[in-house]
Chain A
Amino acid sequence: MGAAEESSALSRRSFAFAAGGAAVMLGLGTLKFVPTRPICRPPGGQDEDSFLGACLRCERCREICPQNVIVPAHLEQGILNVRTPTMNFKEGWCDFCEEANAGIPLCEGVCPTKALRLVPDFKPEEVVIGKAVINRNWCLGWLLKGCKKCFEVCPYEAIEMEQLEGLGNYNNSDYQRPHVIEDKCNGCGLCENRCPSMMNSSLTEGATDRAITVHAVTIQGD
């Protein structure tokens, strides 16, 4: 069949559908340029561009996660991100499946298109899901109320307690403030998961979230 004959098979009506549909597809592509704040991805999905190119939104990583930390992203987190996996550290945290699968993340294994991709001998410390940030208005520790939950639970020793000088007894733990050591934090989310702020109710005035939260960092390229 020649090209002319082929196109003559398209009636005017279906030509409108064809042209319109193809145009809409190209138009939808430009949604990529809508600015969106980066969101935390499961381990292996840290290169955002290649992640978004390969993710099928099949939900398998979310379903298999033994910690239930993977959740589907909402429209509010970016049009392109809807239905893609993101991390909700209020539900759980990422132990890289240490408990469930001897340290090999199940989500990365189940991903059919390798949108989540880790090097075989990866080290959890090097897979940066995000970085924890302390909210100094809400953090009980920072407000010198004696809380150091995050410091106690962090598996990577990425939180240090700063002893305030001139504020009484050197051994008094009430005079310590938590700091995140950025180089050591990989955003596993255990601190956010265990932070007592907003766990049952607001502990500090105005708090609407945990006092330590993990935020995604953008990494471009390999």
Chain B
Amino acid sequence: MKKLKANNLRAIVILGVVLVIAVGYFNLVGIGNLSDFGWGLISTICPLGFVETLLASKLLIPRAVISFFAVVAIVIVLGRVFCAWVCPVPLLQRWFPGSRKQQEKRIAEALPDAEALPAATEALPDAEALPAVDLLDEPSGDLPVQAALMPAETKLKLKSAAKPKLKGAAKPNNFKLDSRHVVLGGALLSTAIFGFPVFCLVCPVGLTFASVLFLMRLFAFGETTWTILVFPLVLVLELVFFRKWCKTICPLGALMSLISGLNKTFRPSIDNSRCIKTAQGVNCSACSAVCAENIDIRNPKTSQSSLNNCTKCRNCSDICPAHAISFPFLKGKQKTED
């Protein structure tokens, strides 16, 4: 299997973030953790924590509002980059036994056959010479050829999902309600009723950093507390019972996906002249199989998950056998699909 370069890079970045925060725990600067991270008056705030404390305390603190809009700006420019490059939860999940095997199997099925691949990549047309438009009979996503090449299961899903939306103005970036948004609603409702940030109690990000903190305090001051056992236990339970926590539960991701609808930059873009599926009709759906957010960037219209859920993890770009996927600042004209 192809090595996912970005996977390792992300792990390094996340561990770096944990390290910086852990060092910060024991100096007098007060940089805080991901709930509110910064120096002095300049900080980023957990957007969910902000909304929760706003509902619970009914206090609009100018500084917190500024921090919140700083986060909103980051999400607009970089999308849900937090979820792939900062949040420790996906990394913890990757370390769980079995989680990788499942993904590898899915990707192996989605990649083209070994004998088809070398021929396909060798016969790669010169991207400059062949305009992408010439290679397409129809806009991608609705290609009958493509549908025929897909595994039966995907085809079925595609059929049912595509039908009502073909005529609708379904833009690729359209908001799609999923369970996370309902959990977010529940968390905010509960916060408003009971008057304290409810999700913070079980937030796996908070639990991770608190576990690190209490572990450090155990060694530094001999501070013993049940918390040091209970927190990692709750964290493990959350991640074991909800293998797809990020995709099905996380209200923080849900909140950011609402904002990232405005994100137009650094979105994954397929060079159709290079993609072996559009250019040569080879049966390949590796990019969609590798996506942790279930986004089918090849077929955005029928994708189970919309593009605003993209966390810019770059796995699709890494897995693509034709190196056809890039994350340009703004999508260039020549690479436009439809």
Partners in one complex: yes
A interface residues, Cβ below 8 angstroms from B: 1, 5-7, 9-10, 14-19, 21-26, 28-32, 49-50, 52-61, 63-66, 71-72, 74-76, 79-80, 82-83, 106, 110, 112-115
Is A50 touching B206 in the complex (CB atoms < 8 A)?
Answer: no
Q: Give chain B residues whose Cβ lies under 8 Å from the Cβ of A9.
A: 176-178
Is A25 touching B61 in the complex (CB atoms < 8 A)?
Answer: no
A52-B195, A52-B196, A112-B43 are known contacts. Are A60 and B32 too (CB-CB below 8 A)? yes
B interface residues, Cβ below 8 angstroms from A: 24-33, 35-38, 40, 43, 45-46, 49-50, 53, 56-59, 61, 63-64, 67, 164, 174, 176-183, 185-187, 189-191, 193-202, 206, 209-210, 213-214, 217, 223, 225-227, 230-231, 242, 248-249, 251
Is A59 touching B213 in the complex (CB atoms < 8 A)?
Answer: yes
Q: Give chain A residues whose Cβ lies under 8 Å from the Cβ of B40.
A: 110
Give A117 to B278 CA distance when docked, in angstroms: 60
Is B227 touching A60 in the complex (CB atoms < 8 A)?
Answer: no
Give A21 to B179 CA distance when docked, in angstroms: 8
Is B33 touching A58 in the complex (CB atoms < 8 A)?
Answer: yes
Is B189 touching A60 in the complex (CB atoms < 8 A)?
Answer: no
Residue in contact with B46 in the complex, picked from A16, A56, A61, CB distance below 8 Å: A56
A10-B179, A113-B61 are known contacts. Are A82 and B227 too (CB-CB below 8 A)? yes
| 9 pairs of residues in contact across A and B, judged by CB atoms under 8 Å | A5-B164, A26-B189, A28-B202, A53-B53, A53-B195, A56-B35, A83-B213, A112-B36, A114-B64
Residue in contact with A49 in the complex, picked from B49, B189, B195, B225, CB distance below 8 Å: B195
Is A17 touching B190 in the complex (CB atoms < 8 A)?
Answer: no
Is B164 touching A56 in the complex (CB atoms < 8 A)?
Answer: no
Interface residues of A, dominant DSSP: helix
Q: Give chain A residues whose Cβ lies under 8 Å from the Cβ of B176.
A: 9
Is A22 touching B45 in the complex (CB atoms < 8 A)?
Answer: no
Is A56 touching B200 in the complex (CB atoms < 8 A)?
Answer: yes
Is A63 touching B24 in the complex (CB atoms < 8 A)?
Answer: yes
Give A28 to B194 CA distance when docked, in angstroms: 9
Given A10-B182, A14-B179, 15 other A-B residues pairs in contact with their CB atoms under 8 A:
A7-B177, A14-B178, A21-B182, A21-B183, A21-B248, A25-B198, A26-B189, A28-B199, A54-B59, A58-B35, A61-B30, A63-B27, A74-B226, A83-B206, A113-B50
